[in-house]
Structure 1
Amino acid sequence: MKQTLLRQWSMLRKIPHAPKTIDAATLQKRLEEVGHNIGLRTIQRDLNTLSAELPLIADENKPQGWSWSADVRYLDLPLLEPQAALTFHLVERHLQTLLPPSTLDYLSPWFRAAGVFVREEGEEIARWPDKIRILPRGYRLMAPDIDGEAHAAVYRALLEERQLDLSYQSRASTAARDYIVHPLGVVVRDSLVYLICTFDGYTDVRYLVLHRVRSARVRRQKAILLPEFSLDAYIAAGHLGFSDGGDAILVEARFSVAAAAHLYECPAGEHQTIEPDGEGHVKVRFMTPDTKELQWWLLGFGAQVTVMGPPELRARMRESIAGMAQAYAG
C-alpha cells in the first residue's frame, strides 16, 4: 500500500497543467527514472481511477494525453506552511523579470495557493505582504517595457537550446533588422535583461538588450553552443561594460568613521582590515576585482573617502573628480 501511494504521488507530480499534456508511456519512463518500475497498463489504470476523484483530464489523442485542469491549484500535499506561502508570494512579486515565463507558468499553481493561504489563514497572515519589502541598493532606474511574447520566446529558446529568429532594433538604428541567433545565456542587471548569444554564421559572442527585441520566434534547429564559453568569464572580462580588467587589486582608502561604519558588518572585499587613522577616520584595506562599479561606489562617498592605492585606481579617481569639478565650475 505504501509503495503504491508513493508511486501515485510521484506520478501526479509529473502531470502538467492544461494545456500541456503527458501520455502514459512518458509517465512510465519518468517513473522508471526515479526508481518506480511499473507496467504501462498499471499506469493507465491508476490514471483512470484517480481521475474519478481528482481534477485530471484526458484528451482524445492517440496516445491519450493527461493533464491537471487549468484552473486547479497545485495538489495540497503537503499543505503550504506560512513561511513557504510567504516565500512564493515574494517570488511572484519581485522576480517577475528574472524568471523565465515558462518557470512562472509552472509556479503559477503555487502562487495561487500562496495567495489563498494568505487570504484564508487569518488577519495576521493576511498582513504579512505589507510587512516585508525588498529594496535595491542605490538609485534604481525604471524598467523598460519588454514584449511579452518575445520575452517568452527568448527564454524558451535558451532553455531548449534552440535557435531564435529575432527582429532587433539597436539604439543607433531607426528600424529593426532580422537576425538568426544562438542563445548562450541571460544576464539580469537591475532593470535590464541582456541576451548573450552568437549570430548565425559567426562565433564572436555578443549581447542584445531584451527590451530592444521587437519580435522573436523559436526555431526548430538546435543552437550551436560554444564548448569553451563561460558566462561568468564573459562578465568578468568586461564585455557588458562593467570591468576595468577584472584582476583583483588591494584597495587602500581613508574613510570617515561614519562612512566606514557598515563595513564592520558588510566587508567591502576579501581580507578586509580596518584600523584607526587619525581623529574621525579609519584606514580600510581589502581585496576586490578592479571594476567600474568599485570606482562608482567609492565616488559615491564624496569627500568622506580618499583612495590611497593602488596608484592606477587613485589616478582614475582623481581624473573623475577633476572632471566633475570642471563641470560644476560654471
Structure 2
Amino acid sequence: MPKTDNRDTLLRHWHLLKALPGKPPGITTREATNYLRDLGYSTDIRTTQRDLVKLKSVMAIACNKKGKPYGWYWQPGMGGDIPALDISDALTLHLLGNRLQNLVPESMMRVFSGRIEQARKQLSEHRGNWHNKVGISEENLGYVGPALDNDIFEQLKQALIDNLQIQVKYQSLQEPVAKDFILHPLALVLRGVRTYLIARTHDAQNDEVMPYAAHRFKSVRVLKNKKANRKNFKLKECLDSDLMQFGVAEPIDLQLKLDQVMFKILKETPLTKNQKLIPQQDGGLLEIQIRDSWSLKWWILSKSEHVEVLKPLHYRRKIAGILMSAAKKY
C-alpha cells in the first residue's frame, strides 16, 4: 500500500478506532502504532498516544490501566462500528434495553450496553420528555435472573466456538455438593431469565443430551485439543422436543372449560396456533394438543379460577390432587 499523507488525520483516526478490540485488556499503544505503520501511515508511539487520548474524550473507548503497558479498547457493546442514531432508533434501543435487562444475564447485556447507553445519552440531549413516553410492564410475576459468572460464561462460549470439551464442577439442585465431570458442549439456550448449556457427558449413551443451568457451574476449564462429540446433534430437534420443557415427550389432547374472561383472552392471544375454541353460553371449551410440561401445569394452576380440566381424565385427577393438597394449607 502506498504511503499515506501524514496530514490525513481523519483516516488515520478511523483506522486506529477500527484496530481497538471490544474488551480489555485491549491493544497497546505500540501495537496500535505498528498496525498503522503496516497500513502505510508514517507515525510514532507518541502520536498514537495523543490520538487515543483525544479520541477518548469524544468516543466510547477506554484505557486499561491495571498493568503496563496500558491497553486501549472499546467500551462493552460498542466495537468498531459507529452508526449514527436518529431519535426513533434511540427510543427503540432504550425500550429494548429495558426489556433485555429482565431477560438476559448481565454477562450478555454487556454486549448491548454500549449501544443502549449511546441511545440514552442521545435521548437525554433531546427535548422530547422521552422517559415519560415509553416503558415496560411485565405481563406476569417474573423472576430476577440468577447471577452468571462472566469468566465461566466466556469459557462456555469459547468451548462452543472451538468445539472443545470442558472439565466442569457443577452443582445440581438434586445433589448436596458440586460434582466434577467432563462435558461435550453443544449449544447455549435462553429459557426465560435462565441460560442453559446443552451438552453430553463423556459417557453418554445413544447420543443423549441434557440441559445444564449455566449459573450452577462452579468452574469451567476448556480442554485444549479434545474435540467435543457433536454427532447427530440438531438444535432445532432439541428445542422441538420435551428437553427444555421439563415434561414428557408425547403431547396430550387437552380439553379445558373456560369462563367468559379466559375465553376472550385466549381468543385474542392463543396458546398455540392449533388451538380450537368452542363458544358456550357461560364461556366456552378449549381443545388443544400440547405437551404435558411444567409450564402447562403452572399455567393451569395459575388460572384455576378461570379454567377446569375436563380431559384427559388422568390429567384432570393430577391437577385436582395438586389443588386439594394446596387448599389444605389454607
TM-score relative to the length of structure 2: 0.69
Task: Map Cα deviations across residues 45-64 of structure 1 (whole Å, 9 max, x no partner).
Answer: 4999999696699xxxxxxx
Gaps of 5+ in 2: 1-9, 63-70
Other-structure match for 1:177? 179
- Picking from 257, 262, 266, the partner of 2:269 is 266
CA contact (8 A) 2:90 2:123 kept: yes
| Aligned CA distance change for structure 1 residues 170 and 187 (closer, same or farther; 3 Å) | same
Aligned to 1:228, what secondary structure does the other structure show? coil
- Which moves more between the two structures, 253-262 or 70-79? 70-79
CA contact (8 A) 1:244 1:292 kept: no
State the shift of 1:124 in Å: 1.3
Other-structure match for 1:36? none
Q: Superposed, which structure 2 residues align to 1:147-166 within 5 Å?
A: 147-166=149-168
CA contact (8 A) 2:148 2:215 kept: yes
CA contact (8 A) 1:237 1:243 kept: no
State the shift of 1:67 in Å: 6.6
- Picking from 121, 125, 132, the partner of 1:120 is 125
State the shift of 1:132 in Å: 0.7
Other-structure match for 1:35? none
State the shift of 1:197 in Å: 1.2
CA contact (8 A) 1:100 1:156 kept: no
Aligned to 1:322, what secondary structure does the other structure show? helix
Task: Map Cα deviations across residues 9-45 of structure 1 (whole Å, 9 max, x no partner).
Answer: 8996675346445989xx9xxxxxxxxxxxx988444
Task: Map Cα deviations across residues 137-169 of structure 1 (whole Å, 9 max, x no partner).
Answer: 3x3344333333223322332344333232222
Other-structure match for 1:218? 222
Question: Residue type matched to 2:268 in 1?
Answer: E
State the shift of 1:321 in Å: 0.5
- Mapped to 2, the partners of 1:328 and 1:233 lie a distance apart of 39
Question: Residue type matched to 1:125 in 2?
Answer: W
Gaps of 5+ in 1: 28-39, 58-65
- Which moves more between the two structures, 212-221 or 66-75? 66-75
Other-structure match for 2:298? 296
Other-structure match for 2:4? none
| Aligned CA distance change for structure 1 residues 326 and 108 (closer, same or farther; 3 Å) | closer
- Picking from 128, 133, 137, the partner of 2:136 is 133
Other-structure match for 1:107? 112
Other-structure match for 2:285? 283
Question: Residue type matched to 2:155 in 1?
Answer: A
CA contact (8 A) 2:310 2:316 kept: no
- Picking from 14, 21, 37, the partner of 1:16 is 21
Question: Residue type matched to 2:130 in 1?
Answer: I
- Mapped to 2, the partners of 1:54 and 1:328 lie a distance apart of 65
Q: Superposed, which structure 2 residues align to 1:226-237 within 5 Å?
A: 226-237=230-241
Across the two proteins, how many residue pairs are aligned to each other? 299
Question: Residue type matched to 2:225 in 1?
Answer: Q
Other-structure match for 1:89? 94
Q: Is the aligned partner of 1:325 residue 2:330?
A: no
CA contact (8 A) 2:105 2:145 kept: no
Q: Superposed, which structure 2 residues align to 1:19-98 within 5 Å?
A: 19-21=25-27, 43-45=39-41, 78-96=83-101, 98=104
Task: Map Cα deviations across residues 105-129 of structure 1 (whole Å, 9 max, x no partner).
Answer: 443432331232122223513445x
State the shift of 1:99 in Å: 6.5
| Aligned CA distance change for structure 1 residues 99 and 218 (closer, same or farther; 3 Å) | farther
Aligned to 1:282, what secondary structure does the other structure show? strand
- Mapped to 2, the partners of 1:159 and 1:134 lie a distance apart of 36
State the shift of 1:228 in Å: 1.4
Other-structure match for 1:255? 258
CA contact (8 A) 1:157 1:183 kept: yes
- Mapped to 2, the partners of 1:172 and 1:276 lie a distance apart of 45
Task: Map Cα deviations across residues 268-315 of structure 1 (whole Å, 9 max, x no partner).
Answer: 2224443332x3222333444443433432333325323344xxx342
Task: Map Cα deviations across residues 71-104 of structure 1 (whole Å, 9 max, x no partner).
Answer: 9966785421223323433444443563684x64
Aligned to 1:294, what secondary structure does the other structure show? helix
- Picking from 226, 246, 249, the partner of 1:245 is 249
Q: Percent identity?
A: 23
- Mapped to 2, the partners of 1:133 and 1:255 lie a distance apart of 29
Aligned to 2:249, what secondary structure does the other structure show? strand
- Mapped to 1, the partners of 2:242 and 2:76 lie a distance apart of 46
- Mapped to 2, the partners of 1:168 and 1:90 lie a distance apart of 35
Other-structure match for 1:197? 199
Aligned to 1:270, what secondary structure does the other structure show? coil
